Every structure is written in C-alpha cells, then in structure tokens.
Amino acid sequence: MSPIVNVQSITKSFGTNKVLNDVSFTVDKGTVVAIIGRSGSGKTTALRCIDRLETVSDGRIDVCGHEITSPKLDLQKLRRDVGIVFQSYNLFPHMTVEQNVMLAPRIVLKGKRAEVRERAHAVLAQVGLADKADSYPSQLSGGQQQRVAIARSLAMSPQLMLFDEVTSALDPELTGEVLRVMEKLAADGMTMVLVTHEMAFARKVADKIIFMHRGTVWEEGPGEMLDAPKTEELRNFVGSGL
C-alpha cells in the first residue's frame, strides 16, 4: 500500500532563508505522525506545504492521490480530502456553532441542508459538543472553540487531518480536552499529521515521530526514540522539557 502522504526531498526558501532543506518522510493510511522540534526548525512550514498553503522551491509531495507540487493541482479537490486545524480557531463570530460547521460542506460539497445538518450534529457529538450547536463562539471556552474547529474539518469527511500546534494557546485543562478528542480520532483510524510541543501526547499516540532541526528531518522513529535519542540535538530538545 502506497503512503497517503509522500514528501520527497523538498526544499523551501523565503528569500535567502532556506527553512526546509531536502526534507523527506511518508505517512501511511490510518497512522499518526507527530512532527516535533524547536521554534524555527521548519515543522510548521513542512505541514503547510502538505496542504499547499506554502509552495515548495524543489522536490515533490503527493497527498491522497494529489500531486501537490503540480501546477495542474485542483485545490478544491485537495481541500475535500485534507482537513487542517490551526492554533487560532478562525470561527465566524456571527454564526452559531452549527452554522460554522455546516458552511464548508454546503458551499464546497454542495450538500443538501438536511444532510449537512445531520453530518454537523454527528461530528459535534464526536468532539463532545452536541449540546453547543446553537451557541456562538463567544459563548464557548477556548478548548470548546478548538473542538468546533476540529468538527468543522471533520464535516468534510477528509482522508487526512493536519493539526498545527492546536493546543499552544490553551491552558492545561483545556489542552487536555482537545488532546482527548484527537486521541479518539486516532483510535478511530483517522490519518493524522500533527505539529506539537506535547511530548507525552506524541509519545502515547503517534505511530511515528519526526524530529526536525535546522530545516531537516534529524531523527524519526516510534515514540520510544524519545527515551533513547541517537543525536545530541534530540537529547537536548527532550531534556529541555519543550
């Protein structure tokens, strides 16, 4: 079985600053890959390249059957297959939770209102917010808003979910509730790539951890690699408690 994500020797520069340098990795269907590293290591840029939010300078990326680096890429089809959740929730404040979750399936998938509403309530139940459909974002905690953002992506029935530091703006209690939702998604077989500083979560849930340093994949392996780093760089990173 070919991987659902195949990143091959990509580079990415912003002006003279090379933020990704010959980065390669794969993600198999139904697995969880956690990308870790210090700020500025290139991990978020790598994630954004998977969803074509950034274009690479060189190399090739294939995601869910789409060649991301092709000029002929159909972005709308890609967005149907790949969901992404950011640190900021980006919910529309004038819309209810239900309306926020229904928006993309109605516009992009052209779904019938009744079917889309049913799907919206199903994914809200999946993230533990079935009772918040009629609430507005301002009436929710940060953790609840982030779970709505996850539900909004799930409503599109994606093959792959990307998470970019989704708990970094939350306090520990709210972080826990979001991580529990992500852990359940992983247990249900959702293919996930997450950029995170939550080392305990990465060790527990990820099938593979990728440690990035200075724009390259420095080490990769199962969660146990955090207990016995092969390089001084990963040893220092883990030892710093980041």
pLDDT at 106: 84
Confidence of residue 110 (pLDDT cuts 50, 70, 90): confident
Share of the chain above pLDDT 90, in %: 81
pLDDT at 241: 57
Q: What's the mean pLDDT in 140-149?
A: 94
pLDDT at 6: 97
With a CB cutoff of 8 Å and minimum separation 6, the contacts of 51 are: 63, 78, 82, 84, 162
Tell me how far apart the alpha carbons of residues 242 and 237 are, in angstroms, rounded to a whole number: 7
- The CATH code that applies to domain 5-239 is 3.40.50.300
C-alpha separations of 137 from 6, 23, 104, 122, 163 in Å: 36, 38, 17, 19, 20
- Pinpoint the alpha helices (H) of 127-205: 142-154, 172-187, 199-205
Share of the chain above pLDDT 70, in %: 98
pLDDT for residue 21 is more than 70: yes
User: What's the mean per-residue pLDDT of the chain?
Assistant: 92
pLDDT for residue 115 is more than 70: yes
3-class DSSP state of 10: strand
